[in-house]
Chains A and B, each alone.
Chain A
Amino acid sequence: MKTYLPPKFVVERDDSRCIRCEVCVNQCTFDVNSYDIEDDEIKSREENCVGCHRCVVFCPTEALTVRRNPLDYRENYNWRPEVIEDIIKQSETGGVLLTGMGNDKSYRIYWDHLVLNASQVTNPSIDPLREPMELTTYLGQKPDRVEFSSVGLKTELAPQVKLEVPVMFSAMSYGAVSLNVQESLARAATEMGTLWNTGEGGLHPKLYKYGDNTTVQVASGRFGVHPEYLDVARIVEIKIGQGAKPGIGGHLPGEKVSAEVAMTRMIPRGTDALSPAPQHDIYSIEDLSQLVYALKEATNYTKPVAVKIAAVHNSAAIASGMVRAGADIIVLDGLRGATGAAPKIIRDNVGIPIELALASVDDRLRQEGIRNQASVVIAGGIRNSGDVAKAIALGADAVYIATAALVALGCTVCQQCHTGKCAWGICTTDLWLTKRVNPDIGARRLSNLLRGWSLELKDILGGMGINALESLRGNRLHLRGVGLTDTELEILGVRMAGS
């Protein structure tokens, strides 16, 4: 069938610069560029271009420019190009449209409507270059009070996990991303005193040595879950849902299930790895409690058990139930949380913004006097240390990042994760591509990112006259809203700027 889809991008090549080295030919995984030996010319099939900019970055003579194809339909706010093209795609395939990464729609990004405070006159700001500035965070259940007996401290805390920086790498499974990506994450987490997350694809034995900085996931497919997997980890996370596709399971196509992926996931090579939409042993809150305690029993109460949900309409009530079900950490993944593959219609339309979910969950847990019984971690669209500081001030104990981490490794958010053809070698198991991420360099890029954010967080804290992160946590007086309605301000628990 002749496709009616126009090319999305224009690839421009400055012939006076091009040296016919064929780097762009070799780097492109979408078969855009090819060398015509007869004409001694590089040609481009622009309809294949996804705008990932791999060729642009690697062209040694900077001969390439990739621009959006300025093909303008007649202006129509309802029938925008994306809407038209989605219909074209479906009329040509008859299937569910798949996509990768997070929601790219224009839902309000509340971080951009919140501003932070600083000290002036009545208290001094603190210079983090000259004074101590503390970001240390402990995740885990805390008791209501500390008790002493005649011989000393009587209170024994449930297992606590120390983070040097309140930013962890979010779940990305082996199979979705490559082992080199996971190794980069694991090594950076270890260096920076934080944690990375296996996702639901098991843990490759090569990464066991990073176990102290690893969160292992137990999800609906139970891929790669075995005693050693649980024993080696620092935190065990039950995955109920994901912000990019609340209520939807996962599907790793057989093509991506290589020998190593098959071994790690404990499934036959080349078979589809299907994660059911629900966990079929959790149809209710009491079932969740049983799994939480089954995992605590299995790990002899040595590590916190986290439960991750997608942020949805009743998050506050659900979160309260999760805490009562024994979760030591609750993870909320918001509307803009990303994925390796999801139905586009789900990604773009289901779930709620993480800022609102966080504010209402933190409020609810405090109203019920159980906020100390679980740490709250949020995920979904955190872009920089400013977002981190705002999330902490709204009440998060720590945040997860995944898209930002992948961008540090080269990702340009071209949303082709589901194709398995990632030209940056990130979201693929093709051995020809995965070597594009060198774990030595990847770990360094990721550590640098966290180091930069740590320094910025310290500057932000110091400016507020605060020298420990716990004094910002849940301290919404350090936030003000700009351009928000009264209802939004009320839910966020934040006052309007100037008031």
Chain B
Amino acid sequence: MKELSRINNFYHDDKVMDACSLFGMMDTAGRRFSGKEVIEAIANMHVRGNGLGGGFAIYGLFPKYANYYAFHIMYLSREGQARVEDFLEQKFHVPHAEEVPTRPIPAIVNPPLVWRYFLEVQNEGTNSQSEDEYVIDRVMEINTQIEDAFVFSSGKNMGVFKGVGYPEEIAEYFCLEQYEGYLWTAHGRFPTNTPGWWGGAHPFNILDWTVVHNGEISSYGINRRYLEQFGYNCTMQTDTEVVAYAVDLLMRRHGLPVEIAAKVLAPPLWSQIERCSPEEQRIFRTLRQVYGSLLLNGPFTVIIAHQGEMIGLTDRIKLRPLTVGVKGSVLYLSSEESAIRLVCPDLDRAWIPMGGEPIVGSLEKPLEPARHCEEHKRRGNL
């Protein structure tokens, strides 16, 4: 069995540490757009990374194959590819497979071979598991047991593109200007000491959940031990992985709405809770009592995305930056306001959210600029 932690966490540190630039852009009306502006914006924050990792997540990417799990897999050898393809044939129906198009550029050295597969779960294989659980198990199986192969994207109608390099170089390498989606997130990475490994770049993905993350989570040790009780193995040993699993546990398995999940990850202070209404007090107190071990402590900004939704969140005392911009039905999230202004100089509004306040863009509730403004006025954010 191969140990991903050995690959991603070469020096066997407590965890992999990095800092970063983040950008997210979503048209809440569901219109798909090219990555040109996203690439331009993340490139504007070049100095927040150090060229050891860049990546993108794109939603609404494969309308033609929208109902198939789109596995994106990196291979270090042809043997790895052969083994995985045998495995996929056994475990799934594979209606289509292709090599992910790339263009050689000088900045990208020793890239792995990257293929994508559209997969359908066949009922007889699943043993009464849900399809999602089945897919998660197969991803873990490939990533921990098949040499020279790593699944880095496994959701439906979405894809992750990432590697070692600056994000604009990764975009150029994967020809991202040619793709369209209604939601893009992007990440430029500044790891402190990890040797570049393509799988270690952000976004981190499981099913259609992606996380891009800036910060260091000082509560990592207990977050991880708590999640292990629920069967999550933190194979990558990164903060980002913990965020992804925490969100998966809270939202998918425990069925909590995003606003509540955000109050678990970045809860109000006890003294703030005491100033809430009695019902809110009961809710917030219960959440902290039950999920105290999931509090993400220490500096972080994350942009979490899944089908139809993009969420921006910072730690509760806001030790990492996040700026929000709105133009029409488009929601921007960025580490720096300048990156948003670069691609959209005439924003309807831009503001800096409070620490721990989730910013949610959703296809179900498309932004109407006026209403959004009113809401924020009411919440005292203007």
Query: Chain A residues in contact with chain B, CB under 8 A?
Result: 119, 122-124, 126, 131-132, 134, 136, 138, 142-143, 145-148, 152-153, 155, 157, 160, 366, 369, 371-372, 464-468, 470-478, 495, 499
Contact of A136 among B228, B270, B290 (CB under 8 A): B270
Chain A residues closer than 8 Å to B107, beta-carbon distance: none
Decide if B271 is an interface residue (CB 8 Å cutoff): yes
Contacts A/B (CB < 8 Å), 30 sampled = A122-B17, A123-B215, A123-B216, A123-B319, A126-B317, A132-B269, A132-B271, A134-B269, A146-B287, A153-B283, A153-B286, A155-B290, A369-B230, A371-B229, A465-B216, A465-B218, A465-B297, A467-B316, A471-B218, A472-B219, A473-B222, A473-B293, A475-B219, A475-B220, A475-B221, A475-B222, A476-B225, A477-B14, A477-B15, A478-B221
Residue contact B297 to A467, C-beta cutoff 8 Å:
yes
Chain B residues closer than 8 Å to A366, beta-carbon distance: 225, 228-229
Chain A residues closer than 8 Å to B298, beta-carbon distance: 119, 123, 465-466, 471
Interchain nearest-CB distance for B13 vs A (Å):
9
Interchain nearest-CB distance for A122 vs B (Å):
5
In the complex, A473→B225 CA distance in Å? 11
Quick one: closest B residue to A123, CB to CB?
Answer: B216
In the complex, A47→B12 CA distance in Å? 60
Known A468-B292, A471-B295, A475-B225; 14 more pairs at CB < 8 Å: A122-B216, A123-B299, A136-B270, A146-B256, A146-B286, A146-B287, A147-B254, A148-B260, A152-B279, A152-B283, A366-B229, A468-B295, A470-B288, A471-B222
Interchain nearest-CB distance for B263 vs A (Å):
10
Decide if B338 is an interface residue (CB 8 Å cutoff): no
In the complex, A478→B15 CA distance in Å? 12
Chain A residues closer than 8 Å to B282, beta-carbon distance: 153
Chain A residues closer than 8 Å to B226, beta-carbon distance: 474
Residue contact A122 to B270, C-beta cutoff 8 Å:
no
In the complex, A167→B229 CA distance in Å? 27
Residue contact B221 to A477, C-beta cutoff 8 Å:
yes
In the complex, A145→B249 CA distance in Å? 10
Contact of B297 among A132, A136, A468 (CB under 8 A): A468
- Which B66-98 residues sit within 8 Å CB-CB of chain A? none
Residue contact A369 to B297, C-beta cutoff 8 Å:
no
Residue contact B291 to A466, C-beta cutoff 8 Å:
no
Decide if B178 is an interface residue (CB 8 Å cutoff): no
Interchain nearest-CB distance for A223 vs B (Å):
34
Chain A residues closer than 8 Å to B12, beta-carbon distance: 499
Given contacts A145-B254, A155-B286, A468-B297, contact A476 B221 (CB under 8 A): yes
Most buried by A among B215, B216, B286: B286
Contact of B221 among A123, A372, A467, A474 (CB under 8 A): A474
In the complex, A392→B225 CA distance in Å? 14
In the complex, A160→B192 CA distance in Å? 42
Residue contact B222 to A472, C-beta cutoff 8 Å:
yes
Residue contact B221 to A146, C-beta cutoff 8 Å:
no
Decide if B289 is an interface residue (CB 8 Å cutoff): yes
Interchain nearest-CB distance for B281 vs A (Å):
10
In the complex, A464→B216 CA distance in Å? 11
Quick one: closest B residue to A137, CB to CB?
Answer: B292
Given contacts A132-B271, A366-B228, A366-B229, contact A372 B290 (CB under 8 A): yes
Residue contact A369 to B290, C-beta cutoff 8 Å:
no
Given contacts A143-B290, A153-B283, contact A119 B229 (CB under 8 A): no
Quick one: closest A residue to B299, CB to CB?
Answer: A123
Quick one: closest B residue to A153, CB to CB?
Answer: B283
Contact of B289 among A138, A464, A467, A475 (CB under 8 A): A138
Interchain nearest-CB distance for A364 vs B (Å):
12
Interchain nearest-CB distance for B52 vs A (Å):
15
Chain A residues closer than 8 Å to B215, beta-carbon distance: 123
Interchain nearest-CB distance for B17 vs A (Å):
5
Chain A residues closer than 8 Å to B216, beta-carbon distance: 122-123, 465
Decide if B176 is an interface residue (CB 8 Å cutoff): no
Interchain nearest-CB distance for B366 vs A (Å):
24
Quick one: closest B residue to A363, CB to CB?
Answer: B225
Interchain nearest-CB distance for B227 vs A (Å):
11
In the complex, A467→B270 CA distance in Å? 11
Chain A residues closer than 8 Å to B317, beta-carbon distance: 126, 131-132, 467
Interchain nearest-CB distance for B252 vs A (Å):
12
What 5 pairs between A and B have smallest CB-CB spacing? Answer: A477-B221, A470-B292, A471-B219, A471-B297, A475-B221
Interchain nearest-CB distance for A355 vs B (Å):
17
In the complex, A142→B226 CA distance in Å? 13
Interchain nearest-CB distance for A60 vs B (Å):
47
Residue contact B289 to A160, C-beta cutoff 8 Å:
yes
Chain A residues closer than 8 Å to B229, beta-carbon distance: 366, 369, 371
Contact of B299 among A131, A157, A464, A465 (CB under 8 A): A465
